[in-house]
Structure 1
Amino acid sequence: MSSPNHIVVFEHQKHTFNLKNNKEKEIHEALEKYHGNYTPFFKLIRNGVQFNQHVGVLKVGNTTIEVLPKADTKGEEVWRPLLIDMIKTIWGFNVKTSGNADLKLKSNSILDLYFELFVNELEFLLHRGLIKKYNKKEGNLYALKGALQFSKQISQNLTHQERFYVKYSNYDVNYKLHCILYKALKMIYQINNKVDLKSRIGNLLLNFPEMNDIKITESIFDKIIYDRKNQHYEKALQIAKLLLLNYHPDISKGKDNVLALMFDMNILWEQFVYIILKHDLKDLGVHVKAQASKKFWQSESGTKSKMKPDIILEKDNTTIVLDTKWKNLYGDKPSPEDLRQMYAYHQYYEAIKTVLVYPGEEEKLISGNYFKIGNDDSLSNHICSIAFIKTHENIKEWRKNINSFVKRNLLNISVEQ
């Protein structure tokens, strides 16, 4: 599907540019400049770039570079919707938004997905009515309003007795949350290429009150406190944060702006498996935990080191530790580092078994035992298994595969066919 304005690659793949073509040369230069600011998404190679385990979208000017996951031989027509559905599952979108519970999102890329979700959320907020808030202001007015500031009244209005220097409260919609949403809306308006969204974004700009421009930083989002009055803003602000903090405008040229919505596939796979198991095993008495850390080392100065397995399953006073790996494992031999890590989980979490979980073209479980300490010829009861869970082009079937595999092979729970 690659074209001058839409390039499609897979994770870990190389892409080279024809530097004799002006457009491709501009894209290459923009990526070089973006890489110079440090990006973990790709490395520079001769006349091009090589991507790593990060997937998603890089928007360079008018060109969209899609980086798709690839755990099997399926092509882009399968992995594009699967990636979008994985993100919907993790974020809890479930092809629904608070504005319209039956809305079906028809996105062609992750970028389109987030643009659509943001537009849907803003339409919902405008329909419901924007929150108004008291803002404290002070200045010269031609009518007495609020509290007169005597010292400044004398210093500034001695010859202008028709004016009043006052401090007052103004009840309006121009405050921080709306400034963030308005800035994200204007950014989307500049870089959106979807025809069916263009008019909706234009309507939002016409109906959304014009806001003050503010500088966007990570800290501005950290300071937001959600309560019963603004809780319905959270999803729109989450998407605004994702878009604004990953947007890198090219100030020098103004045409090769870079928007990077990239996700580490290892983390996506871990979160995807965790969300599915947590949701689908809760009625079976299985407690599913993620990133449950434990201390295992301390220096003389007091600094500590922790271990943190991806997923822990607890049932009937037994513990199973899962460590997800998004990569192709050729054969049945994990790396020594992974096996040592799983052995440590046995000891510190008192697990009856540990499991390395990979995506695969076929379902398979390979079990192995650690040797006893001090006896190289005798196997212990500590089990570390390698699980290959079959991927599927339909997200619902893939979800079933994960559930049934864990129930049958790890929890010994019968699965209805």
Structure 2
Amino acid sequence: MLNSPVLINAKDCFPFENQEGYGDVLKYFISNQKQLNIFHFSNYTNRDDLEIAYFNTRDGKWYAGRLIGEAQFEYKDVNYKIVITPRFGNLQLFRMLEEIYNIKLANSKGTITKQNDYQYLIKQLIAFLWLNLLSKANKHGIPKQNEFKNYKGAIVRGRLDVRKSIIPLQVEEKIVSRYNEKVVDSTVAKILIKAYKILKADYKLSSIRVSLGAKNAIEQLQASNTRDTYLTELDYKNLRYNNIYLSFKPVVDLSWDIIKKKNFNSNNDSTSDSFSFFLDMAEVWEIYLQSILKRHFAKFGWHLKKDKIQTYTGKDFKRLIIPDIILEKGNEVMVWDAKYKRMEFDYFDYDRADFFQIHTYISYYHQNQKVIAGGLLYPLSKEFSRERQFKNRSETLFNQEATNTKYLVDGIDYTNLNEEKIKEEEANFLNRIADLQIN
């Protein structure tokens, strides 16, 4: 592979900056999307419309999708590097991750921000999040499971195994018994240890300060003497967690993604520099909104509700409805859909499919509960003034008198980015939503 790649870059949800003449390269990139390493930090379900890039027929330009990261690959004997960065910069990304995981990235934020190599940035974030997930999970030690063991001696441990004791009793005057012992879950341990080794070797894990909780978990893993044997997808899928160890599922899931990291090129040459790492910003945006809304509305008696609604059960046209954010208090609900799309309040920014989807959700809840409000929530690329707010809010559903449900398009204004301003606009957004509950 050549040393100096041709750079094709974009901000997420925006056109590629230097795309002329590279249409075939972008098509190749899109066609190999399944070869990308896309890391997920939740059981996020909205992945059907996940696209790395697309061609917009309205203006004849190639646009980046909602994924951020970079990939280096070879196409027709030319080396290319595609880089997609957050359209609001790293500061917004760090703020969302800090909120989601209740952590401070201050220790590594400076190091990460200085890096021009976006692959390095994504790797560092993954390593940092892995350590924090491991630390949070390690409340009761590494997951353990019961394992039956045999004991041969003069006394009984557990239950006597009469059949196996016949010969030892005659020859050695010993008996065999069978007992239960709690041992480290070997599959969990192997997955975590393997991910830890990869993170140390390839993700610069050693440059990040390790918390006491994570350090203790790593020491337990190393002391478990788990054999480094081959792991299969079935081993991972068959994992079951009891309630006490359920907190380990997120870090084990992330570890499995790290282990499975793929090579972008079809020749799968693991020695090449073509590994690709991407984060789904739509996933991060949705979980971030869930977190800030849950925290803010708890003081008003509301709670975040998770719903998976099966409609038309038993019919060929049955569908599963999974609203992004449901806030509930008694018989009252608010229904929101998180959209990580470009919102500059142009006509085409208001997606017809999104409009019908959120109204379907609201209509469903109208059957049995009082829907106070609902709508679409975006990261906003233009200033959200009072005039803009008025034009993006209706006091009744469909702007008719039939219901008292408020409908709105809202979000967080990211037009003037600095750490203090982000928190200020976050508070403004939360206060606007809180005002909706006042009748």
Which TM-score bucket, shorter chain as reference?
A: 0.5 to 0.7
The verdict on how the C-alpha distance between 1:124 and 1:64 changes in structure 2, with shifts beyond 3 A counting, is farther
Higher relative contact order (CA 8 A, sep 6+): 2
1:362 matched to 2:378? The reply is: no
2:354 maps to 338
Aligned residue identity for 1:10? K
Aligned residue identity for 1:68? T
- Unaligned runs of at least 5 residues, structure 2: 20-24, 39-49, 56-61, 75-79, 113-120
1:157 maps to none
The verdict on how the C-alpha distance between 1:55 and 1:280 changes in structure 2, with shifts beyond 3 A counting, is same
Aligned residue identity for 1:94? I
The verdict on how the C-alpha distance between 1:389 and 1:116 changes in structure 2, with shifts beyond 3 A counting, is closer
2:197 maps to 186
- SS of residue paired to 1:208: helix
CA distance in 2, matches of 1:9, 1:216: 36
CA distance in 2, matches of 1:316, 1:264: 34
CA distance in 1, matches of 2:35, 2:289: 34
407, 411, 429: which one aligns with 1:384: 407
229, 253, 256: which one aligns with 1:241: 256
- Report how far residue 371 of structure 1 moved: 11
Per-residue Cα deviation, 1:370-405 (whole angstroms, up to 9, x for no partner): 9999xxxx9445553222431263567535423433
Per-residue Cα deviation, 1:322-372 (whole angstroms, up to 9, x for no partner): 222222234364233333334434433233443222222312412465999
**Aligned CA-pair RMSD:** 5.7
49, 54, 67: which one aligns with 2:67: 54
CA distance in 2, matches of 1:207, 1:308: 37
1:42 matched to 2:59? The reply is: no
TM-score w.r.t. length of structure 1: 0.63
CA distance in 2, matches of 1:342, 1:30: 32
2:93 maps to 83
1:411 maps to 435
CA distance in 1, matches of 2:289, 2:240: 30
Mapping of 1:5-404 within 5 angstroms?
9-12=10-13, 13-14=15-16, 35=34, 42=52, 51-56=64-69, 67-70=84-87, 74=88, 79-90=89-100, 92-95=101-104, 104-106=107-109, 108=112, 109-119=121-131, 135=147, 175-193=186-204, 196=207, 208-209=222-223, 211-212=226-227, 213-217=229-233, 220=236, 223-228=239-244, 230=245, 233=248, 236-247=251-262, 253-256=269-272, 261-285=277-301, 287-290=302-305, 292-294=307-309, 298=312, 301=315, 304-314=318-328, 318-331=332-345, 333=347, 334-350=350-366, 351-360=371-380, 361-363=382-384, 364-365=388-389, 366-367=391-392, 379-381=400-402, 383-391=406-414, 393-394=417-418, 397-404=421-428
The verdict on how the C-alpha distance between 1:321 and 1:400 changes in structure 2, with shifts beyond 3 A counting, is farther
Count of aligned pairs = 370
CA distance in 2, matches of 1:34, 1:344: 31
TM-score w.r.t. length of structure 2: 0.60
Identity over aligned residues, as a percent?
17
Aligned residue identity for 2:289? V
- Report how far residue 282 of structure 1 moved: 0.7
- Report how far residue 273 of structure 1 moved: 1.3
Per-residue Cα deviation, 1:84-110 (whole angstroms, up to 9, x for no partner): 3313422x24239xxxxxx94546223
- Report how far residue 226 of structure 1 moved: 3.6
Aligned residue identity for 1:289? L
- Report how far residue 280 of structure 1 moved: 1.2
- Report how far residue 185 of structure 1 moved: 1.7
- SS of residue paired to 1:327: coil
- SS of residue paired to 2:341: coil
CA distance in 2, matches of 1:227, 1:316: 28
- SS of residue paired to 2:271: coil
Aligned residue identity for 1:358? Y
CA distance in 2, matches of 1:259, 1:167: 52
The verdict on how the C-alpha distance between 1:338 and 1:116 changes in structure 2, with shifts beyond 3 A counting, is closer
CA contact (8 A) 2:338 2:378 kept: yes
CA distance in 2, matches of 1:174, 1:338: 44
- SS of residue paired to 1:281: helix
CA distance in 1, matches of 2:397, 2:34: 48
- Report how far residue 283 of structure 1 moved: 0.6
CA distance in 1, matches of 2:351, 2:137: 50
2:46 maps to none
- SS of residue paired to 1:94: coil
The verdict on how the C-alpha distance between 1:227 and 1:58 changes in structure 2, with shifts beyond 3 A counting, is farther
Aligned residue identity for 2:128? E
- Report how far residue 215 of structure 1 moved: 1.1
CA contact (8 A) 2:397 2:407 kept: no
- Report how far residue 276 of structure 1 moved: 0.3
1:22 maps to none
CA distance in 2, matches of 1:215, 1:4: 35
The verdict on how the C-alpha distance between 1:44 and 1:226 changes in structure 2, with shifts beyond 3 A counting, is same
CA distance in 1, matches of 2:143, 2:356: 54
CA contact (8 A) 1:95 1:105 kept: no
